[in-house]
Structure 1
Amino acid sequence: MKTTIDDLKFIDIPKIIDHRGNISVIENDVLPYDIKRVYYLYDVPSGAVRGGHAHKNLYQCLIALSGSFDVLLNDGVNEIRITLNKPNKGLLIPNAIWRELEDFSSGSVCLVLASDVYKEEDYIRDFHDFKSYKAY
């Protein structure tokens, strides 16, 4: 299946409003896959760019737990920039989509929920290799 930026989806994460502070819960029915790996980016220096790769099989959901950041996405033909800034909204990125994260606000935290454990062979780390992979 050839994925495109049209396959990106926003995930609404349930939000329980309470005057003492809100809670958002991610359970099995929120994402279309089982979560196998969780990690987060924080203390990203001003001007730094994270990501810069695509995955052959892995799906990811990115959530701005705090602050904001931009996600640049490319499907080999089209490109889009999405700003994430709400802790109850996730961006579901399917496999074979190039991503770069930039413009992190001070104190921002990006939570990543991945469909599989870390496997180096799943990464495409060179954009030209990615374009060749998408041309299959």
Structure 2
Amino acid sequence: MIERIKLPKIEDRRGNLSVLEKDIVPFEFKRVYYLYDVPSGASRGGHAHIEQNEFLIALSGSFDVVIHDGNNTQTYTLNKPDEGLLIPNGYWRELHDFSSGGICLVLASAVFIEADYIRDFEAFLQFKKQ
């Protein structure tokens, strides 16, 4: 199930600090990457994972995450560095409307394996019917 997860936020007049520890993200992450300098009007994602789980955080700026579960579509706006979006395997995701300076941090439960990706939406719908 898609879930927003609030991250600990330690507020300080010198600046805030948020922490990612293994008991906060509900899977062991094996890969961390980030998206940045996404041009206006461009989209990222456009795939689903068979096995991999992901946790997305807007480190800076904002962007929309459009999730499709095979039947319904839901849009989540990420714009807080102390909140993440858990996307379990089996969900189609697209990232849109990056603000200027928007940065998306992704924690993934697996290293990159191309065979884990479903990159065709019709193939995704067939996968969901199985």
Counterpart of 1:114 in structure 2 is 108
Q: What does 1:25-36 align with in structure 2 at a 5 Å threshold?
A: 25-36=19-30
Deviations 1:40-63 (A, max 9, x none): 000000000000000001000000
The answer for unaligned runs of 5 or more in structure 1 is 1-6
Aligned residues: 130
Letter in 2 for 1:96: G
Q: What does 1:87-126 align with in structure 2 at a 5 Å threshold?
A: 87-126=81-120
Q: What does 1:62-81 align with in structure 2 at a 5 Å threshold?
A: 62-81=56-75
How many angstroms apart in 1 are the aligned matches of 2:95 and 2:118? 16
Letter in 2 for 1:71: V
- Percent identity over the alignment is 62
Post-superposition shift, 1:11? 1.1
Tell me the C-alpha RMSD between the 2 structures. Answer: 0.5
Post-superposition shift, 1:104? 0.3
- The answer on 1:41 being equivalent to 2:35 is yes
2:10 maps to which of 9, 16, 19: 16
The answer for unaligned runs of 5 or more in structure 2 is none
Counterpart of 1:133 in structure 2 is 127
How many angstroms apart in 2 are the aligned matches of 1:134 and 1:28? 29
Letter in 2 for 1:124: I
